[in-house]
A and B are shown apart, each in its own frame.
Chain A
Amino acid sequence: MTTVYLDGLGLFGPGLAGWREGIALLQGMHSYQEEQIPAVTPSLLSPNERRRATGAIRLALQVAEEAIKNSGLKAQTIRSVFASSGGDGEIIDKICTALTLPERPISPTHFHNSVHNTPAGYWAIATGCHQASVSLSAYDGSFSAGLLEALTLILVEGDTVLLVAYDYPPPFPLSGTRFFTAPFATALVLSPDRGDLSLAALTLELIGQGEEDTLDDVGLERLRTGNPAARSLPLLQAIARGSVGSVVLPYLADSRLAVGLAPCQ
């Protein structure tokens, strides 16, 4: 089984304003208190783009920026995988609302922001990165699908990969179609070789039906089940705790992803 290395992390959610801030909480130093999500302010966006960027776009870019910074690598040279189950509910709501009006006045900006790869497009523009990028979705298994995609890129192309997983609760009335508790995003820089800053060595294995790992902290568990990107939390917790072992994440209805983990530092 091939090993890949985790070189940087980004994290953002209510009460989790960054990886370094999140470590103590994930280590279990204190219990999780659900808080308002702090303002998300990715510094890479130009004022013009910042004005156009929705909550989902800002969330994705925030964690991408943090993970790259923590990895010590240059964003321009790194290909990316953006995993999101729901995409941008705010834009879908605005477009579907416009389509109920007599002239169907869709805003051109909303329309070009409606594609699933919008955050990836903004990221490439902000960082001047011509490397390939893919945007994908696999319902509650979207984070696992992103990890698998990153693994294949590392194994087959030999590249370092930025994986960004994000999901932002859609506004009313779309909010009635799916259980969502809060915005959440995480980003992982994964590479084929162990470096000075590598935090952990990971192996991935697809397994059949099995119990996915849950979290002991009631508040964190509620966040985990209330946002597809937060299905990553058991893995993030194991990384924060420096655990050795295996974490089972949800993937598809009939399969799970087992992530083997060993700290590098």
Chain B
Amino acid sequence: MPIKPLLISAYTTVNALGRGIDESAFKLRQGKGGLRPCDFADAALNTWIGRVEGLEEQPVTGELAAFDSRNNRLAQAGLTQDGFAEAVAAARTRLGPSRIGVFIGTSTSGILETEGAYRKRDPASGRLPNGISARYTHDIFVAAEFIRLYLGLKGPATGISTACSSSAKAFATAYRYMQAGLCDAAVVGGVDSLCLTTLYGFKSLDLTSSRPCRPWDAERDGLSLGEAASLALLTWPAADDHGTALLGYGESSDAYHMSAAHPQGTGAALAMQEALAKAGLDAAQVDYINLHGTATPSNDAAEDKAVVRVFGAATPCSSTKGWTGHTLGAAGATEAVIACLCIEHGFIPGTLNTRQPDPGLLANILLETREQPVNYVLSNSFGFGGSNCSLLFGRLG
């Protein structure tokens, strides 16, 4: 049985491509990427990153000042653009604040602030400096709480943290809360900011590239990290509503390894198959697959096997990690927003930086952005711990 489509009433993204959906759409269509040589804080790493400019000068102030952190600044940037807060306010008036849920994915939340506190430990006692409040900065729930308070909502809320699938899974959770009658609309998304933990952590696993990442390339050698806040307002569609909708979702576990994907892509294939089934679609109807495509040698190889098993080798695919960097817990929502842009504007982004597709990989990888009508997009997000989620988006009405 297909699920009921959920209208994406409003959406926004701030990522390395820029602030707002128009900036992301423009750059994806014009071939302008957002990666730069690492210039984050004092990270001395030979890698490229997708940093959002200007956050350093945009603190969270006023009533919510206690929430000030890079991660919540990123959330704030998302909340103040594309008419997003206004769209939520209209829904709040229509449905009531207690009927709108908030489900936000993040992997590291505000750990950057805790990293900083450790550098300022008292040399004698070892204590962290006074006034450190992980409650409002580092806690996994805090992005959801900040967004809920900022938007004046009083419905159910959860912070979802399953590594790089976090904000894709937020869409599935939101659908279930709405279908179960616990809320009538939901603010979903992901907020994940750059920090030394992930920059040096992926380096420790030898997974960061010294060049802009090249998904599916024969010479791919690792990922480029990014940061993003990407949000969507989900509502039940009225009879005459048009737009883009969440049509399906699929979730699975690899049950294989904490940081390596199953080499045959078994769990990934299960997630894609479930998303298709929940959307009531055949694989052949999907116009475009936005790959997880991190550009690490083994991840791309595993995803390629899974995609080819479910879709064959014809469906156009690309990874947008070369444009935005890998935004980890925000990747699912960021690529959901890109899927909406593809459907609404009629284009498929190419795989930036990739020159020579790996002859061992069989999926139909697009190198150049192509203008064409797009009705159905599948978006993949796979994370550490073997957490897989695929989302299916399509045109409504």
Contacts and interface: CB of A to CB of B under 8 A. Distances in A.
Interface of A: 85-87, 92, 95-100, 104-108, 111-118, 120-122, 124-125, 127-139, 142, 145, 148-149, 151-153, 155-157, 172-174, 176-178, 206, 208, 251-252, 254-255
Interface stretch (B8-16, B239-247, B384-392): B384-392
B126 A172 contact: yes
B254 A130 contact: yes
B81 interface: no
Contacts of A127: 255
Contacts of A157: 176
A217 to B, nearest CB: 28
Given A99-B200, A125-B257, A133-B387, A178 B159 contact: no
Interface string B105-122: 001000100110111010
B27 interface: no
A87 B140 contact: yes
Contact of A138 (B117, B127, B134, B159): B159
B391 to A, nearest CB: 13
A229 B183 CA distance: 25
Given A104-B196, A115-B161, A121-B386, A139 B145 contact: yes
A96 B127 CA distance: 13
Given A97-B118, A134-B162, A115 B253 contact: no
B157 A138 contact: yes
A191 to B, nearest CB: 16
Contact of A132 (B117, B128, B251): B251
A127 B148 CA distance: 36
A226 to B, nearest CB: 15
A176 B128 CA distance: 8
Contacts of A98: 200
Given A115-B162, A121-B258, A124-B385, 13 more contacts: A85-B141, A92-B111, A95-B201, A108-B205, A111-B197, A121-B253, A125-B255, A133-B251, A133-B387, A134-B173, A138-B144, A139-B139, A151-B180
Interface residues of B, number: 64
Interface in B258-290: 258-259, 266-267, 270
Interface string B291-306: 0000000000000000
B135 A178 contact: yes
19 contacts: A99-B118, A100-B121, A104-B196, A106-B197, A116-B162, A120-B385, A125-B255, A130-B254, A133-B251, A134-B162, A136-B159, A137-B159, A138-B141, A151-B180, A152-B173, A155-B180, A156-B179, A177-B133, A178-B135
B160 A130 contact: no
B326 interface: no
B70 to A, nearest CB: 15
Nearest to B43: A104
Given A117-B163, A132-B252, A148 B386 contact: no
Given A95-B197, A107-B204, A114-B197, A177 B128 contact: yes
Contact of B176 (A128, A130, A156): A156
Contacts of A149: 158, 173, 176
Interface in B193-215: 196-197, 200-205
Given A106-B204, A152-B180, A206-B182, A130 B158 contact: no
A117 B387 contact: yes
Interface in B174-190: 175-177, 179-180, 182
A147 to B, nearest CB: 11
Shortest 10 CB-CB contacts between residues of A and residues of B: A121-B385, A116-B161, A132-B251, A111-B201, A152-B176, A137-B140, A112-B259, A124-B253, A96-B118, A124-B255
B132 interface: yes
A122 B259 CA distance: 11
A136 B158 contact: yes
A147 B118 CA distance: 35
B176 A153 contact: yes
A152 B178 CA distance: 9
A148 B196 contact: no
A138 B158 CA distance: 5
Given A95-B201, A99-B118, A152-B180, A115 B255 contact: no
B237 interface: no
Nearest to B177: A152
